[in-house]
Amino acid sequence: MNLKHINVLITGASRGTGAAIAEKCAEYGARVVLHYNSNHAEAKAVAASIGDNCVGLLPEDLSQAGAGARLWTKAVEIAGPINALVNNAGIDLVTDPYGDDTQWADGWAKIMAVNLQAPADLCRAALVDYRKAGGGRIVNMCSRASIRGDSIDHPAYAASKGALLALSKTIARGAAADGVLAYALAPGWINTEMAPTDPDVLRAAKAEIPLGDFAQVDEIGTLVAFFLSDLCPSATGATFDVNGASHVR
């Protein structure tokens, strides 16, 4: 694959899946702008591993109003025209309907801000620039929960990712005439620090996966790089399940 034509902004790129996406895209020649929330040391380490193909390192708290639009503007200022956006950043908090009112309200507000509003604002900014430029690419990290739902104590996460999936499909359908390609990933568990560590929970999580293990971050990075390669533009609008056959459609 050749990504030398790609100038990509990747959110949540200081560790885990986001870092793997950034490293894989850079490996194939893309110029990458790394977004992170607060951990500058980890983000700097990812940038160092990428080398000259890292053209920007930007902090932004995506839970804050207007963060998505600000991030896009900063990325363009430091890296020039951006022709690819990967909305990878996301959070998951307990929002138990049987819990207390504060947990419910605060959890929904923060999850929706980070997982939906900020990506939507980034997509909007990208679409405006892409129309002027004649096209561009968007990859949104959704979830298996986008399709099958989640446990009862994580409804806000499932709702946010389901809405992001619907946004991805809408962009693919509505902006194709402007040369925009949009893809969604719907992974199950990925082998990152967000995966369960309690032995009993870990065993239960893996037991429902026919393949027997969580997805690896390099798998996600390679798939995103493929989307940005323009090797299969007709796949725009598609949702790609990466879950070891734990949820098949």
Q: Which residues are catalytic?
A: 157
- At residue 99, φ and ψ (nearest 5 deg) are -90, -165
DSSP string across 95-148? --TTS-HHHHHHHHHHHHIIIIIHHHHHHHHHHHHHHHHT-EEEEEE--THHHH
In order of 47, 52, 56, 229, the CA distances from 83 in angstroms are: 20, 18, 15, 12
Which residues, 6 or more positions from 151, have their beta carbon under 8 angstroms from its beta carbon? none
Cα separation, 246 vs 144, whole angstroms: 9
Cα separation, 45 vs 27, whole angstroms: 16
Which secondary structure element, helix H or strand E, spans residue 228, and what is its range? helix 217-228
Tokens standing for residue 212: 């027997």
